[in-house]
Structure 1
């Protein structure tokens, strides 16, 4: 007769637990996970510390190298040459500023020559520098009031003058009209810099233009033939 075994669900040994009632295996797993995370954090901290130290060392090395290069560059420069170049640059800057603010009356005289009718003439010219700019004062004669009105209209439409005034009108023994003229000259139109630019600008002579036109005409005629 075979022996009968009776199964039992009652544990034969005592159930081990900690004081809080948590199983030992679960507590061991939590400790292992905490240890792993702590190890990762510690490793990252060490790597970051090494990186910061290395970056500081690299910066110090770069600064020392740049300082060495600067000292080498300074040793190759000659102080006398540098001083001469500085003085030359100062002179050029001063000359440039002086030219940019310098005024000449040559363009104004050219305008007066071109814009004065044959019935008007000027026999006195004076100018002075004021806070408003260059002020001119002229005296002249016109063959009648119509000629004077024409001259006044030309000056009023010109960009050279502002605040222009005709005064002291009277007839002389010959029947001509004596007059005085006063105005402020536009400073932008009498700059020495602009006059230099105008003179330096290339010009096309009429002879070259006629020659070019003749050459083009001859070429066109030859093509037609």
Structure 2
């Protein structure tokens, strides 16, 4: 008889695998969907907040612009009013300003071509007019007489008088001329409004031959 002892093991319960099946869990698709949803909500919130901020800033800018426009309009109107007053004041000053240039323009247009003015003394008077004291020389007595008529017919001259007519050593005729000038002639605004319409054909309006050797202004 064999002396070995053999045993056998028969399990009473079935063997269960150690690796148990996993229970139901969150899928990857659901995780991604939730993430996208959260990001979308965050972006929507940012957009809404940005719109609210931009709207408030726009209203603020509109109010600031309106205030600046009101200030600018008031300043512009005030500036133009001051400028207009200054222009009007300047016009009045120039309108009353006395100038000697119109007198010489007048003499140039009224002096005959064969008459020479040697000295011209201009004195301004308190009433706004001026007085003339002129020493001249003419070619002959006829020229002196014609010059006297031209001056007498000029409305710009008051009480024109030619005196001290004398014969010069060179054969010419010397004379003195005195007159008061109308105040409108010496105004600066009339400096270039002197007309040279002379009725006598012997008067040279361009005065190329008139010489004024000495001019004195008081």
Q: Normalising to structure 2: TM-score of the pair?
A: 0.47
Q: Which has the greater radius of gyration?
A: 2
**Higher relative contact order (Cα pairs below 8 Å, separated by 6+ residues):** 2
Q: Normalising to structure 1: TM-score of the pair?
A: 0.46
Please state which structure has a larger fraction of its residues in helix.
Answer: 1
